[in-house]
Amino acid sequence: MKKALTIMLLVLFAVSTVFAGGAKEKAADGTFKVGIVQLVQHVALDAATQGFRDALKAELGDKVVFDEQNASGEINNCATIVNGFVSSKVDLIMANATPAVQAAASATSTIPVLGTSVTHYAVALDIDKWTGTVGTNVSGTSDLAPLDEQAKMIQEWFPKAKKVGLLFCSAEANSIFQVEEVEAYLKKAGIQTQKFSFTDTNDIASVTQKAADWSDVIYIPTDNTAASNTEAIANILVASKTPAICGEEGICKGCGVATLSISYYDLGVTTGKMAAKILKGEAKVSEMPIEFAPVTKKYNADMCKTFGITPVAGYEAI
């Protein structure tokens, strides 16, 4: 019995080593070890991680090695992964997405942690008086697109719109934050709003239908679930002739008319440059303010044609 078990465990280790297949890079003396913890496999998050690696490699060359681990969407794995980083004494942790940053921040107060793809650090880390700098061992970049400009953009593209439906996934903290901000701006402008939240892929169609029936225009924030289901949303919006303004380029490409968005790759690059400064000793993480990525204005030419909308000047086609 015990023998069987030992063999079983050995097989398991052997298998996992095979899976590992040189994924781990060895750290030589005088090099920096950077742990990357990413919440889930996702186009935007992957792009941010890639940008981070490219920027840091460009700055430090062979002097940096990465240990990149993905929690595969299970939040509890973030704690396990970060525990591994802290115990192998990495020089810096890059945490991609809000739960990853929370896990890293609660695991260490000494190793510098740089977050990315986090919308709002004050919300994620529960900071009362927000000054733009976290002030502890945590800093990073925010994927917050300028929400006031997005709200203005709705009026710019659809000056006659009276009712704006806000479509998002209730499981995503960042979406709720964005929707509330945009709602406040729109209300100030005297536009009626209503929230339409879906819980997952299964009820996205019926909620979108409800939203399309009620609204003149729909606003979709930077929302991971919406991003994975643009086709389902587009099928309803096109049929009911309801245009959508989106918080992010990927969603706009699939089901929206126009967007004012950021590139996650650029966001990762910005984070990588911050990391280089910390590792070279040029800056202290506690003094670094949260940085943002530059904004781009884009429109979806196919959708504009379908809805018969003339694109507003200053926007470029995706």
List of residues contacting other proteins (CB under 8 A)? 1, 4-5, 8-9, 12-13, 15-17, 19-24, 27, 41, 67-84, 86-89, 98-99, 102-103, 105-109, 123-126, 136, 170-173, 176, 199
Cβ closest to other proteins, residue 40 vs residue 237: 40
Nearest approach, Cβ of residue 294 and other proteins (Å): 27
Nearest approach, Cβ of residue 38 and other proteins (Å): 8
Nearest approach, Cβ of residue 128 and other proteins (Å): 8
Cβ closest to other proteins, residue 35 vs residue 256: 35
Do 102 and 124 meet the contact criterion of CB atoms below 8 Å apart?
yes
Nearest approach, Cβ of residue 247 and other proteins (Å): 16
Cβ closest to other proteins, residue 223 vs residue 266: 223
Cβ closest to other proteins, residue 82 vs residue 255: 82
Nearest approach, Cβ of residue 21 and other proteins (Å): 7
Cβ closest to other proteins, residue 123 vs residue 283: 123
Nearest approach, Cβ of residue 71 and other proteins (Å): 7
Cβ closest to other proteins, residue 84 vs residue 146: 84
